Amino acid sequence: MRLAVVTGLVAAVALLGSAPGPLRLSASVAARAEAGALGHAFDGVDRSHQAGQAATGAPAEQDKNQVFRASVEMVSLNVTVVDSQGRYITDLGQDDFAVFEDGAKQELTYFNRSSLPIALSLLIDSSASMEQRMEHTQEAAVGFARKIRPQDLAQVVDFDNRVEIRQAFTNNIADLERAIHSTSPGGSTALHNAIYISLKELAKVKATNPEEIRRQAIVVLSDGEDTSSLVSFEEVLELAKRSETAIYTIGLQPRETSALRGFREAEFVLRQLAQETGGRAFLAPRVEVLKDVYGQIADELSSQYSMGYSSRNPRRDGAFRRVVVQVDRANVTARTKRGYYGPTSR
């Protein structure tokens, strides 16, 4: 039964994808499928209209004595360190860090304090409630996109009751700006669908050599609760925990007091996704502060440490393993993802 459902959704979405314009997934089409099929079906979309859009960047500088080879046995961490004033600490060395997995200390086999390239998905809520604030939102997002470096890749995704990939992964700033300005408000909010699809898209950004290894992040802005997704919050959270993606969330507080209850629910969702993945949750009380919020996210992404270790846990049971990073310096705090799922025997 599942195969038939997936096949039907692939065909329906492929028809949408083959038409001119941005890649899209309609909630009304998706509603005919089971929730678990969404990511697999979306992989089958015709992307011919996006050919040639994505560009690859030059590799970032890194320690030539260290080569990071990603594998199922390597646990990779992106770590942010701040002092008691919230200022980023960027002068630490490998010996300043201690990493623990389920309470057992691990030995770092890779460490880099230069800013590795990043693959980033920029998600913008374009539901009807954003109509009066869309212009400010676009300008703030454009300012963020302009901080993309030549070695980075970014895509632009907007969502209402549909999810549309306005721009495939690229390092072309002008293309990103055009995609952001092409967003227009209307419809309801499919927040879960948008994050789910973006996680699936980022998982396709594969490194074929050490120079192509990129950190992965999602930056998502929304002003309200999910009202039209096929995928549940639990499914999105599970996929996020299985990914290598840090999720940065911006909750834009609604103007209407009648919408505050729904916004509180959305705020909980956004905060949980950020905490579990090592990102950060922001609350924007007014649209005018978005430029500053996006700036803070850009600063953090350029101030992270990358490190990795081979787990000393020999079990291949697929269980979730908690990770804690400590720093040997007073009055500083390290933040990274809360853990990962161990390997399995198959």
Q: Would you state the pLDDT for residue 140?
A: 98
**Whether the Cβ atoms of residue 170 and residue 177 lie closer than 8 Å to each other:** no
Fold of 2-50+116-301: Rossmann fold (3.40.50)
Q: How confident is the model at residue 61 (pLDDT cuts 50, 70, 90)?
A: very low
Q: 165: which 2 tokens?
A: 């990939």
CA atoms within 13 A on the CB side of 342: 18
Q: For 121-190, where are the alpha helices, taking DSSP H only?
A: 134-145, 173-181
Q: Would you state the pLDDT for residue 30?
A: 41
Section 32-45 average pLDDT: 39
**Whether the Cβ atoms of residue 326 and residue 98 lie closer than 8 Å to each other:** yes
Q: Would you state the pLDDT for residue 346?
A: 72
Section 48-65 average pLDDT: 42
Q: 227: which 2 tokens?
A: 């009202």
Section 301-330 average pLDDT: 96
Q: 53: which 2 tokens?
A: 């859009």
CA atoms within 13 A on the CB side of 162: 18
Closest among 97, 118, 92, 125 to 109, alpha carbons compared: 97
Domain boundaries along the sequence of the chain: 2-50+116-301, 74-115+303-341
Percent of the chain with pLDDT over 90: 70
Q: Is the pLDDT of residue 45 over 70?
A: no
Q: How confident is the model at residue 212 (pLDDT cuts 50, 70, 90)?
A: confident
Residue type at 344 in one-letter notation: T
Q: How confident is the model at residue 151 (pLDDT cuts 50, 70, 90)?
A: very high
Q: Would you state the pLDDT for residue 121?
A: 98
Section 204-211 average pLDDT: 80
Q: Is the pLDDT of residue 270 over 60?
A: yes
Section 271-285 average pLDDT: 97
Q: Is the pLDDT of residue 21 over 70?
A: no
Q: How confident is the model at residue 200 (pLDDT cuts 50, 70, 90)?
A: very high
pTM over 0.75: yes
**Integer CA distances (angstroms), 259 to 11, 158, 182, 262, 275, in order:** 37, 21, 26, 6, 24
Residue type at 180 in one-letter notation: I
**Integer CA distances (angstroms), 51 to 13, 55, 144, 167, in order:** 18, 10, 25, 11
Q: 255: which 2 tokens?
A: 């103007």
Q: How confident is the model at residue 39 (pLDDT cuts 50, 70, 90)?
A: very low
Residue whose structure tokens are 């300012």: 143
Better-scored residue on pLDDT, 194 or 14: 194
Section 272-284 average pLDDT: 97
Average pLDDT, the chain: 83
Residue 299 phi/psi, 5-degree rounding, is -60, -40
Alpha carbon distance 168, 52 (integer Å): 9
Q: 116: which 2 tokens?
A: 């590795």
In this structure, what DSSP letter does residue 5 have?
A: H
